Amino acid sequence: MSTAPHEPFRVAALQMVSTPDRERNLAEAEKLIAEAAAGGARLVLLPEYFCFMGHKDSDKLAICEPHGDGPIQRFLADAAKRHGVWVIGGTLPLNAPEATRVLNTTLVFDPSGEERARYDKIHLFNFEKGAESFDEARTIRPGAEVRTFEAPFGRVGLSVCYDLRFPELYRRMGDCALMVVPSAFTYTTGRAHWQILLRARAIENQCYVLAAAQGGTHENGRRTWGHTMLVDPWGEIVAVRDEGAGVVAGDIDPERIAAVRASLPAWRHRVLDCA
């Protein structure tokens, strides 16, 4: 049954604390997708690295898949079809041209289990502070294309984690009803900037922002910030979960988008081209 553009559309973001065991992570994701669907969600967003958080960055090379087939992709397609929901599959490692790196990829499946969109993470995280050291470019090949897809309630813009710091990416998505941000923010950077950045992207683009996060202390010793949330077009937090695995849900309300844009028509006042 289709949803008229003016009707609220229930969405959910999953928060996880993923492990180095792919099968255990997929089982946890299945449980949370089922919970979200049972709660009325019709679109479910998983976090970055939902399927695997290895002991070292290069571990993900062992589970990378060719685009179009593999256990992680089959899981996402089957879950979408089984529960009759849109599934935005956080990220999974897909084969890159070079054997030493992967593409950190978001795949979108519709309720029939058909793939509808793909986005390869463009901006690669690099952070050095004390004992914390991250350089995703060592094991990830960056993407190059901005991607969106059409959902029953409007356009959805795709981004991943560190992308959140680059507002020009979101401008280039165009007129979206929803922008999604599957993430695995570190505790340090998340505590400092996560909520501020999510609210800024929602306010700037006068649309909803749904962010699914890793949230807790992982078996590999890494600690992620969590705070999975849904933010509305005025920058108000609709729902949030601080730490631990669970579901965050809320409605995408086209009337709320229209009301915000009517009272403060910043969208219509744009004069500069971001391309």
pLDDT of residue 272: 85
pLDDT of residue 2: 39
Distance CA 201, CA 208 (A): 9
Amino acid in the structure at residue 160: V
Q: 10 Å Cβ neighbour count for 74?
A: 13
pLDDT range class, residue 6, cuts 50, 70, 90: confident
Phi, psi of 134 (to 5 degrees): -135, 135
pLDDT of residue 131: 73
pLDDT of residue 118: 98
For the domain bounded by 9-263, which CATH number is listed?
3.60.110.10
pLDDT above 70 (res 214): yes
Could you confirm whether 48 is annotated as catalytic? yes
Over pLDDT 70: what percentage of the chain?
Answer: 97
Among candidate residues 161, 176, 207, 243, the one labeled active-site is: 161
Mean pLDDT value across the chain: 95
pLDDT of residue 5: 60
Q: Are 212 and 182 in contact (CB under 8 A)?
A: yes
Among candidate residues 51, 60, 65, 121, the one labeled active-site is: 121
pLDDT tens-digit map of 164-190: 999 999 999 999 999 999 999 999 999
pLDDT range class, residue 1, cuts 50, 70, 90: very low
pLDDT tens-digit map of 101-124: 999 999 999 999 999 999 999 999
Could you confirm whether 121 is annotated as catalytic? yes
- Whether the full predicted model's pTM is greater than 0.75, yes or no, is yes
pLDDT above 50 (res 151): yes
pLDDT range class, residue 274, cuts 50, 70, 90: low
Cross-strand bridge partners of residue 102: 95, 140
Could you confirm whether 35 is annotated as catalytic? no
